[in-house]
């Protein structure tokens, strides 16, 4: 089978990881890199591929089968649209856009061009997340009652040297980090009908938040909470607990807890707590704990496998542009609620995209 020819647009940290994965993959090949920063040329030289400063130049000269968009968030939609105009399928890094209104443009572009868009919420490909979804969705916990997510760590001071990380709309843990948490909770527990959130910048005093507390009400009636901070020495975050990213300190702890009428699940250790069969229920009776086994795998590699199948027309995108826009709308509702102090409806941020452009 002919290798899929892929281009990577944006040669920063994430784009470089994508490019390196492509070069090691048996089903695809890297045909070029694009970046506006000429210093990124060294990445292309190291990987032995053409380097271009212009997206259009690379697309027209190399004619890739697909492209991965790993630019700054503000460029996700215009760059992806350049690809779609040439009927080139795209994998767009998360978040799909800066605002739901911009995301909606991409939804419409994908529909009109009949060309697939895959959004890079790569955690959905992680076997741990997939197994947790099966347990929650297939009834191992009974009816879902609630979920509690904790994301807490300490970002180093040098992280904030780049100005965009200190400023809205793209900076702060909501869009940089919690967009993952929000997408995972949608994937695991279903759609969210209402949020109520509080944000604080009390520690660093920046324009963007350093801590958030989010209450969620799911369509199913289940409730959820997310407590997040990037300014505390703590060992409870998806990155630290799953070991997915080797850059993070690894701690064998749990960061999510799912509660159901028949059992509860601690993630990512996948510890399932239930009453033994045939025993009475109640707080005075003992629970048994069973660890659910999962074979680990690199979710970015699995996402690339999936994207190759999408490009070939063998799979529909696991996270298409509309799905990515729904996660962004949920983040927009969190921002609205934190700013106003009132509950917010995520669906309202997609209902009329022309009025939603300034909400995030």
CB 210 within 8 A of CB 199: no
The pTM assigned to this predicted structure is 0.93
Residue 328 lies in a domain: no
Residue 164 domain-assigned (yes or no)? yes
Q: Mind listing the pLDDT tens digit of every residue in the chain (360 residues)?
A: 799 999 999 999 999 999 999 999 999 999 999 999 999 999 999 999 999 999 999 999 999 999 999 998 889 999 999 999 999 999 999 999 989 999 999 999 999 999 999 999 999 999 999 999 999 999 999 999 999 999 999 999 999 988 888 988 778 999 899 999 999 999 999 999 999 999 999 999 999 999 999 999 999 999 999 999 999 999 999 999 999 888 889 999 999 999 999 999 999 999 999 999 999 999 999 999 999 999 999 999 999 999 999 999 999 999 999 999 999 999 999 999 999 999 999 999 986 555 444 344
Q: How far is CA 155 from CA 94, 158, 281, 331, in A?
A: 20, 8, 43, 21
Q: End-to-end alpha-carbon separation of the chain, Å?
A: 44
Pair 29, 99 in one domain? yes
Mark whether 115 and 213 lie in a shared domain: no
pLDDT score, position 245: 84
Question: Would 356 be classed as within a structural domain?
Answer: no
Dihedral pair phi/psi, residue 296, rounded to 5°: -70, 155
Identify the DSSP state of 275: P
229 in a domain, yes or no? yes
Q: Are residues 103 and 139 in the same domain?
A: no
| Other Cβ atoms within 10 Å of 149 Cβ, number | 25
Residue 144 shares a structural domain with residue 281: yes
Q: Please indicate, yes or no, if residue 194 is contained in any of the structural domains.
A: yes
Examine the domain organization and report whether 51 and 174 are in the same domain.
no
Could you tell me if 152 and 290 lie in one domain? Answer: yes
Q: In terms of domains, do 258 and 316 share one? A: no
The pLDDT of residue 353 is: 52
- The reported pLDDT for the residue numbered 359 is 41
143 with 248, same domain? yes
In a domain, 174, yes or no: yes
State whether 44 and 27 are in the same domain. Answer: yes
Total structural domains in the chain? 2
Position 326 in a domain: no
Q: Provide the pLDDT for residue 103.
A: 94
What is the predicted pLDDT for the residue at 247? 85
In angstroms, the CA 95 to CA 325 distance is 8
Q: Are residues 148 and 202 in the same domain?
A: yes
Q: Is 260 found in the same domain as 292? A: yes
Looking at residue 156, which CATH number applies to its domain? 3.30.360.10
User: In this structure, what CATH number is given to the domain that contains residue 115?
Assistant: 3.40.50.720
Residue 351 pLDDT: 63
Report strand pairing: 271-274 vs 256-260: unpaired
- Whether residue 360 lies inside any domain: the answer is no
- Print the domain residue range for 13: 4-122+300-320
């Amino acid at each position: 089978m002919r290798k899929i020819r892929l281009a990577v647009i944006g040669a920063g940290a994430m784009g470089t990881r994508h490019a390196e994965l492509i070069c090691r993959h048996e089903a695809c090949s890297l045909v070029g890199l694009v970046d506006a920063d000429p210093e990124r040329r060294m990445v292309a030289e190291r990987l032995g591929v053409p380097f271009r400063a212009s997206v259009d130049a690379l697309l027209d000269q190399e004619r890739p089968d697909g492209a991965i968009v790993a630019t700054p968030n503000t460029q996700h939609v215009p760059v992806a649209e350049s690809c779609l105009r040439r009927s080139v399928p795209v994998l767009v890094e998360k978040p799909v856009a800066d605002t739901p209104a911009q995301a909606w443009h991409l939804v419409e572009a994908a529909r009109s061009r009949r060309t697939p868009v895959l959004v890079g919420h790569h955690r959905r490909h992680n076997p741990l997340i997939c197994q947790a979804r099966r347990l929650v969705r297939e009834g191992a916990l009974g009816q879902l009652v609630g979920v509690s997510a904790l994301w807490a760590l300490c970002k180093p001071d040098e992280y904030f040297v780049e100005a965009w990380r200190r400023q809205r709309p793209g900076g702060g843990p909501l869009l940089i980090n919690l967009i993952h948490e929000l997408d995972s909770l949608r994937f695991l527990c279903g759609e969210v009908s209402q949020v109520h959130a509080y944000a604080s910048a009390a520690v660093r005093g920046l324009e963007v938040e350093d801590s958030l507390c989010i209450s969620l009400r799911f369509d199913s009636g289940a409730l959820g909470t997310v407590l997040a901070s990037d300014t505390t020495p703590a060992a409870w975050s998806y990155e630290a607990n799953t070991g997915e990213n080797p850059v993070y300190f690894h701690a064998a702890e749990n960061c999510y807890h799912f509660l159901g009428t028949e059992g509860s699940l601690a993630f990512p250790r996948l510890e399932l707590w239930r009453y033994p069969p045939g025993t009475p229920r109640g707080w005075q009776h003992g629970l048994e704990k069973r660890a659910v086994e999962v074979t680990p795998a690199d979710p970015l590699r699995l996402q690339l496998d999936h994207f190759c199948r999408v490009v070939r027309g063998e799979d529909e995108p696991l996270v298409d542009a509309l799905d990515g826009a729904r996660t962004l709308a949920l983040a927009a509702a969190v921002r609205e609620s934190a700013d106003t102090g009132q509950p917010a409806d995520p669906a309202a941020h997609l209902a009329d995209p022309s009025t939603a452009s300034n909400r995030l």
